[in-house]
Amino acid sequence: MSLNDDFSSGSNSGVRGWVSVEVTAPGSEPEVLLADTSEPLLTLAESVGIRAPSECRRGNCLSCAARLAPGSSWNYETAADTFLCAEARDAGFILTCCTRAVGPGLKIELEQQAEAFQIQFYERFAKAREEGFHASLREMTAYNERHPDEWIKRTEESLSAAASSSSAEDSDLDVESDGEEERGGR
Ligand code: FES
């Protein structure tokens, strides 16, 4: 796939036009640039000398991730097959190598790859882990409901094991405190 290929099939996909886009690089003031609607935003940034990170330039590595700035429109089109997850896209992240402006009001903040990674990997995995935990809990509850006798027996065994281990701990504590009293009494 070349840089400009395979943008998703929006109504004006691939049509050349010009719109202004506000681009903010880290540590810099926002710049309003005139964007070619057939070119990726990464190319736009590079054309004015902004050195934005990029590795694959195919939507796979997330190194070019940017984020819509507060007050931005969502007037962009992006390639259909990028690696960016729906959660990150919904949170306003875009991959500038595969995204172009298609209407007014777009404002982007460059170099948001760490934040995009956070959502793409850590938050999604944490959510999946939590969902997995709740699914096993639901499964276990359903099993217990189907086998109440077994559940009661298991619960009683656990309670009695907990009670005997707690009384064993109490007697250990008694022995220790007796020993201390004896030592203290001497
Ligand atoms: S440069 Fe790799 S996703 Fe854009």
Which tens digit of pLDDT belongs to each residue from 4-63?
444 433 344 556 799 999 999 999 999 999 999 999 999 999 999 999 999 999 999 999
Q: Please, what's the b/e burial string for 129-164 (b: 16 or more CB within 10 A of its CB; e: otherwise)?
A: eeeeeeeeeeeeeeeeeeeeeeeeeeeeeeeeeeee
| Residue 82 Cα: closest atom of ligand 1 | 3
User: Which two three-digit tokens encode residue 58?
Assistant: 């195919």
| Residue 56 Cα: closest atom of ligand 1 | 2
Confidence of residue 123 (pLDDT cuts 50, 70, 90): confident
The binding-site residues of ligand 1, defined as CB within 6 angstroms of any ligand atom, are 54-57, 59-64, 95, 97
pTM of the predicted structure, to 2 decimals: 0.65
CATH class, 3-117 region: alpha beta
E strand or H helix at 177? helix 148-185
- Domain parsing of the chain, residue ranges: 3-117, 129-185
Angle, helices 124-146 vs 148-185, to 10°: value is 110
| Residue 62 Cα: closest atom of ligand 1 | 3
Beta strands in 53-104 (DSSP E): 65-68, 76-78, 93-95, 99-101
Least confident window among 27-36, 60-69, 140-149: 140-149
Which of 46, 56, 67, 89 for a ligand 1 pocket mutation test, highest count of atoms within 8 Å of Cβ? 56
Q: Which pLDDT does position 141 carry in this prediction?
A: 82
E strand or H helix at 34? strand 31-36
